[in-house]
A and B are shown apart, each in its own frame.
Chain A
Amino acid sequence: MTPQERDELMAAVTTAHRERGPHGEIEGHRAFYDLDDPSRAQAFEQTLRLRALEAAANPTSLSTTARAVLARIRRA
């Protein structure tokens, strides 16, 4: 895997979008399973910082994760 491919997978994992499984459960992102352990740990920390940044930038202090959850609730 090239550093660019790794960066792309890491960027992919940091999205708040997650698919639903056949039983309605929220599935892990497929890019997560292509990353090695150090990259997964780094992606976790990166996501933590991104969500804080998203919340800080949002008028209601909600990250994209929080908004994704609220959207699922409102759709249900």
Chain B
Amino acid sequence: MDLDVHLAAIAAGDAGAFGRWLAGAERPVRESLRPFAVHVDCEAVVQETLLRIWQVAPQIESDGKPNSALRLAVRIARNLAISELRRKRTVGVTAEMIESVPEANPAEPPDPILRRAIEECRGELPLKPAQALSARLENGGIDRDETLAERLGMRVNTFLQNFTRARKLLANCLRNKGIAMEELA
């Protein structure tokens, strides 16, 4: 799969095309940050990287190989993580961090059978965990947990406990259907 098929539309400012690129690119970008996972908050690095790709898309030129934008994103992510490490000065930057550029392969589209299994398992969740999980999923990272908790009439600690419970129950339910959570990543 070559995500560069979306590049011209993204460069023209088509956010929908960028969404289709994101669907395949997010996972490999995140995975490429595993060597930094204990030192920097990779979620922040992933989001900053993806925003930068949107900003520089008109300047990205294909080198003739597939996924030039994705490969650029992996390099940007690694450089951002290294910059953050240097800024914090909490740990040295190792040769492995600088030199290792993992191969970036786009994520495959989700399986419809998996989607149906998730829906069924969500339907079996107790009320409060289901509310916490839905709040996160429907909000799409717009608001902080304190706001989501308040809307549900929960304290933030209770919200987080319910979210954790939902995650574990969902994993158990999917496992019972023959889907391991590890297989989702």
Contacts and interface: CB of A to CB of B under 8 A. Distances in A.
B23 A55 contact: yes
Contacts, number: 162
A37 B39 CA distance: 8
Contact of B41 (A7, A13, A57, A60): A13
Given A29-B41, A56-B114, A48 B31 contact: yes
Interface string A45-76: 11111111111111011111111111111100
Interface residues of B, number: 55
Say whether chain A's binding surface is mostly helix, strand, loop, or mixed.
helix
A37 B19 CA distance: 32
Interface string A27-57: 1110010000110110111111111111111
Interface stretch (B60-68, B96-104, B160-168): B160-168
B137 A54 contact: yes
Interface of A: 4, 7-8, 10-13, 15-19, 25-29, 32, 37-38, 40-41, 43-58, 60-74
